[in-house]
Amino acid sequence: MKKVKYVFRFLMVLSIVCAAAVFSGEKADARTVFDTEADDSFDTATAINLGDSINGGITETDDLDNYRFQLTSAGKVSLDITSYMRYYCIKVFDSAGEEVWYTDNNYWNDSVKYRSDSYEMYLEKGIYYMEINGYRKSDYDKSTGTYECSTAFESSRTTNKENDNSFTSANDIVFGNSFTGQISINDNYDTYKFILPETGNIAVDMTSYMPYYCIKVFDSAGEEVWYTDNNYWNDSVKYRSDSYEMYLEKGTYYVEINGYRKSDYDKSTGKYDCSLSFASSDTSFEGDDNSFDTAKNLSWNRSYTGQISINDNYDNYKFSVPANKSIAIDITSYMRYYCIIIRDSDGKDVWYTDNNEWNSNVNYRKDVHNITLSAGTYYMEINGYRKSDYDKSTGKYIFSISELNQSNCVHDYKETTVDPTYLKKGYTIFQCEKCGDTYKGNYVAKLKLGQSSIDTYYSYTEKRVIRLRWSTVSDASGYQVRWCRKKAMKKNVKSGKLKGQDTYSGVISHLSRKKNYYVQVRAYKKIGKKVVYGDWSEKVKFRTK
């Protein structure tokens, strides 16, 4: 009966295969496919479309079942299997017969006598064979029983063309265009190529659906110039997005994307989306400038743009000083930090500045450096190091050299203080000892005479007379006294002066009897033909006798 059953199933499958002239990994109408007794080799493998469900069994006389499917594009193959065998094994082979994937030692649950599993595998475009058996992959302890397996396929819609595993077969990158690739269990990495027509900045935007990924960049000589690795995805969303920038010299470059943690053998698979964009740094010079012989000649009072790249450690420039003079180097750096070294014609360091970190709020730094040089030829090196260590930064910079003047001088001011007088404010004169720039500041108020006050204890009135006594004020030339019948002192105010700083009393006479008078006193100082006054004292009321 069992033999008749399998013959019937074989005839059903054979009729389906004959009716379907084309089979592929693209989604077709789902159907159920049964194994056959004649499917023990690749040549007799049962043809399936991914999306079909497979019903099969391993018997005492049937050791394995082979199925054949074709992927018209790279993508993800999904298998959902329920096995009623004590254990089962699945192997996947490519068209050359190379095993590309397997799962084994899958023991059932003794309580329910079956086991269910789901698998995903990323595969390249091509023809594949899937073998299902009841062995523990390689040993001879065979189990028998039936199984059910549903299949599915999702294209990754890759835009790269395989084979792209070498520089010579690398895919060309168009800046600004996104490209999609896939790292498969039978494809370890993808290679791309781009050409920089000039020195500048490459921006990389990467979204990876692999558990981790690595990107390497090589120059045309095959030297690795940049990499990023150990980029684990977010387990919650099953992807990771990153942006990178790299400053590169003009030339041809190759990009390798893989699923390794850079150098180990723990490989992950999946699709990725990536795009590259390019911004020229508009550098003033191209080509080698890493020695005195290739140093670029500079002119005075002209702006230049340079770049420190991941594959270029420093730039050399050459300039001449016709006579002993002070110069100014004006630099705006878009590197995290920069260093400038000036050497004489013998290669000896004569000046340097380092540890110049940018302002992280604006991602640049602007400086003016003043240097005094003797007549001669000099070489200027600009780099992204903190002078001598190996913590290198990259980016563009803009600079110029010019003779020292008041606008480009980092001033070193000498201070001269001018004291205040009773007629003029005091101030400080600031004069730069390098360029002569001069200005005034730190103003101090004019000197002011102190305020005198009437001593009411010693002041008194007599018949038509007021006898006054007041406090003296240092530096006074004398004192002025004024009086009036009205407290407001707006009209009919009379006054008189008494010379001498030490004068402290006076008499107001010829007043009316038994009348109220308001009196004030203030100090004055005569300076040449000018007179300055202190504040009036408080008003004091007197009544004559």
pLDDT tens column, 160-206: 998 999 999 999 999 999 999 999 999 999 999 999 999 999 999 99
Amino acid (one-letter) located at 110 = D
pLDDT at 458 (0 to 100): 95
Tokens found for residue 21:
């002239």
Identify the pLDDT of residue 261: 84
DSSP letter for each residue of 213-267: EEEEEEETTS-EEEEEEEEE-BTTTTBEEEEEEEEE-SEEEEEEEESSSTTSS--
- Segment 275-292 shows an average pLDDT of 95
Helix (H, G, I), strand (E, B) or coil at 176: coil
Measured in degrees and rounded to the nearest 5, phi and psi for residue 7 equal -65, -40
What average pLDDT does the structure give for the chain? 92
Percent of the chain topping pLDDT 70: 94
> What pLDDT was estimated at residue 8?
36
What does the pLDDT read at residue 2? 38
Q: Which of 260, 267, 250 is nearest to 227 (CA)?
A: 260
- CA–CA distance, 479 with 484 (Å, rounded to integer): 17
Q: How confident is the model at residue 461 (pLDDT cuts 50, 70, 90)?
A: very high
pLDDT bucket at 263, cuts 50 / 70 / 90: low
DSSP state of 325: E
For residue 137, what pLDDT band results from cuts at 50, 70 and 90?
low
pLDDT per position as a tens digit, 69-104: 999 999 999 999 999 999 999 999 999 999 999 999
Please work out, in degrees rounded to the nearest 5, the angle formed at the alpha carbon of residue 417 by the alpha carbons of 414 and 419.
175
pLDDT exceeds cutoff 50 at 537: yes
What is the rounded distance in angstroms from the CA atom of residue 358 to the CA atom of residue 454?
A: 66
Burial profile 437-459: b = 16 or more Cβ within 10 angstroms, e = fewer: eeeeeeeeeebebeebebeeeeb
pLDDT band at 25 (very low <50, low <70, confident <90, very high): very low
- Per-residue DSSP letters for 131-160? EEESSSTTSS----EEEEEEEEEEE----S
Q: Hey, is 111 helix, strand or coil?
A: coil
Q: Sheet containing 126-133: give its strands across.
A: 46-47, 64-71, 126-133, 87-94, 99-107
21 pLDDT tier (thresholds 50, 70, 90):
very low
Residue with tokens 């599915």: 152
pLDDT exceeds 90 at position 65? yes
Assess contact for 13 and 32: CB atoms under 8 A: no
Mean pLDDT of 26-49: 86
How far does Cα 483 stand from its chain's mean position?
78
Interatomic CA distance for residues 432 and 439, integer angstroms: 9
Give the pLDDT band (50/70/90) at residue 489. very high
Identify how many contiguous H helices and E strands the chain contains and give both numbers.
1, 39
CA distance 481 to 429: 40
Q: Virtual CA dihedral for 505, 507, 508, 514, nearest 10 degrees?
A: 110
CA atoms of 338 and 295, how far apart (whole Å): 19
Position 28, amino acid: A
pLDDT at 390 over 90: no
Dist. CA 374–CA 326, nearest whole Å: 9
Task: Tell me what pLDDT residue 386 has.
Answer: 83
Task: Measure the CA–CA gap between 215 and 228, rounded to whole angstroms.
Answer: 5
Checking if the pLDDT of 438 tops 90, the result is yes
Contact yes or no for 149/53 (Cβ under 8 A):
yes
As a whole-number percent, the residues of the chain with pLDDT over 90 amount to 87
Mean pLDDT of 343-362: 95
Compare 6 and 526 and report the one with higher pLDDT.
Answer: 526
For 302, the token pair is: 């002209």
